[in-house]
Structures are given as C-alpha cells and as structure tokens.
Amino acid sequence: MLLLFVALAVFVAWSWLSYPAVGHWLYDLSMALEAKLYRLHKIEVPIAEMSVSTWQGGPYEASSSILMLHGYSAEKNLWLRFARHFVGHYRVIIPDLAGHGETGFKAGGGYDIAVQAKRMIQLLDVCGVEKVHVIGNSMGGYIAAWLAANYPDRIASVALIDPAGVTAPEPSDMERHLARGHNPFLINSREEFRRFYAMTMATPPWVPGLVLDAMAQRYEQQRDELEEIFRDFRASPPMEPQLPNIKCPALLLWGRKDRLIDVSSVPVWSKGIVNLRVDVWDGVGHMPMVEQPSNTARLYRDFLSTGAR
C-alpha cells in the first residue's frame, strides 16, 4: 500500500511539474504527424542572415508554386490543413517568418514589412522559384501585398486573408485594447492567453487544454521578442499609397466576425486594387484558413483556376 501511495504521489508530482512540457510534446507531435500525412516536409532554407524553417511539399517540377505566409505571433503550422489541398498540383512553400516558430529571433534584427518581404524574395531565390502565387493572413497578408506591389515580376497572384496594412474606418476589439495601452498579444498568464485566443477566431478548432496552456507558456517566454516584432511591424509604411501598384490578380477574403482587424477595412482594399475579387464570410473570425480550411481552400483553388491565370 505504501509503495502504491508513493508511486501515485510521484506520478501526480511529475504530471504537475511537466504539464506544459507534455502539451508542447503533444502539439509538436501532432503537427509533425499532420505534415507527414499531407506529404509536407520540414526543410531549413539558408538565406543571407538566417536559416528559415519551412514546410515544403508538392511536385518540385510543378509549373506553379504557392508561398503561404502566416500572421504576427503565429507559425507555419497554421497552414497545414489548408495546404494539403494543394500539394497534389502545386509546389507549396510555408515558412516560419523571421522571429517566429522555428526561425530564429535576433534582437534588432529588423521585423518591418519591407525587410520581411525582402527575406521572402531571398527564400524564393534559394528555392529556385522565379514566380509564385502568394497567400497571406494578417501580417502575412501585409507582406504578401507588399510583395505584389514592390516585386511584381516575382508574383503571379496575391491572396489576402484578413490582412493588416491599411487603417480600418472602424476600430476592432484589438485596436480598442491598444488605445487603452494594452496589447492582447503580449501574454503574462494562461488566463490572458485564453482571452486572447478567443479573439483570434469565431469558431476555433478543438484543442486540448494542456496544449493551449503550452501555447500560453510559449507566448509568455517570447513576450519581449513579440513586443519588438510588433513595434517594427506596426511602424511599417501603410499600404494605401501602394495599392494601385498591385496589378496581378488579387483575392481578398475576410471573416465578418474578425476581432483583430475590422471588416470595415474591405472597402479600403477594394478601392485601391483594381483587379480584386472580394469575399466576406459570416460567422468567421480572423483566420478562415484555420476555422474553415476546406472552404477556404475551395475558394482559393477556384481563384487560381479562373482569376489568377
């Protein structure tokens, strides 16, 4: 009986002390298994100043390639369930942007939109991709729009999912937080992370609680890094003056329940980009490709086959 009690006490103590570690392990394992299932491979790509961690898949010799860019504080794994719909016919490249995921952070390394876009051009050069279809969400949409406006010879089409980069006529919940001096992305506790996570999607996929707590721990550990990245990203030149320079076929998708960037941004993008297809979805938040990956992929596939030729 004593041995059983001791064993139980040891198990409880181990579970308590390793709780976030188990969540990290479970998350990383599930992402690796999904990537394998979807025929995506982790490849480190060296560019001028760093090594960029990527998921890559699809036929290397494919005539068309897709570059998928995540948002601020996110990582390449967010695209997995969306990307699986394209690896059969396109070469797919999904990077962790500098300072995110498994691509390293360097203090003072420069995280403004122009620098991040330049890194993506370097990434394409090393991967041997001359021209690419680019799709981006949030900050990744900002970078995608910047690429389309400033590197037109490298961009075949651009798809923007709830992108940052213009001033919304109506403030979002996040903007109201920022106006009060509180940045929801800078996390100090599990409770803060749960409130922030609820802002990101209207209908998020189910995630075990211990994985959410592991994600919260990562945000807490990277708080100072995220603060620097946010400062650089928010100080970047606005897209409004550059929107007329986007001449390639363009798609804009927005979730009407986006609490991070208000849907009132849509007319600003529509006014600036001539060749723009617009879809606004009810009941969806800031990340349609996570909330509704199959529907988002269907919309994008239709865009690529009809509007982006």
Going along the chain from its start, the domains and CATH numbers come out as 19-307 (3.40.50.1820)
What is the Cα–Cα distance from 53 to 46, expressed in whole angstroms?
Answer: 9
Q: What values do phi and psi take at 263, rounded to 5?
A: -65, -15
Among residues 42, 44, 17, the alpha carbon closest in space to that of 28 is found at 42
Q: Are strands 132-137 and 51-57 parallel, antiparallel or unpaired?
A: unpaired
149 in Cβ contact with 242 (< 8 Å): yes
What is the Cα–Cα distance from 300 to 168, expressed in whole angstroms?
Answer: 24
Looking at residue 8, its pLDDT comes to 42
The DSSP element (H or E) to which 226 belongs, if any, is: helix 223-234
42 Cβ contact partners less than 8 Å away, ≥ 6 residues apart: 35, 53, 54, 55
Work out whether the CA dihedral 178, 200, 69, 215 comes out positive or negative. Answer: positive
CA 132 to mean position of chain CA atoms: 18
Q: Does pTM top 0.85 for this prediction?
A: yes
Looking at residue 20, its pLDDT comes to 72
Among residues 23, 197, 207, 229, the alpha carbon closest in space to that of 106 is found at 229
309 residues of the chain, pLDDT tens digit each: 555 544 444 333 344 445 678 888 999 999 999 999 999 999 999 999 999 999 999 998 878 999 999 999 999 999 999 999 999 999 999 999 999 999 989 999 999 999 999 999 999 999 999 999 999 999 999 999 999 999 999 999 999 999 999 999 999 999 999 999 999 999 999 999 999 999 999 999 999 999 999 999 999 999 999 999 999 999 999 999 999 999 999 999 999 999 999 999 999 999 999 989 999 999 999 999 999 999 999 999 999 998 665
Looking at residue 1, its pLDDT comes to 53
In Å, what is the CA distance from 22 to each residue of 12, 34, 209, 211? Answer: 14, 18, 11, 8
CA 26 to mean position of chain CA atoms: 21
Looking at residue 290, its pLDDT comes to 98
Strand partners, 253: 161, 279
**3-class secondary structure, 92:** strand
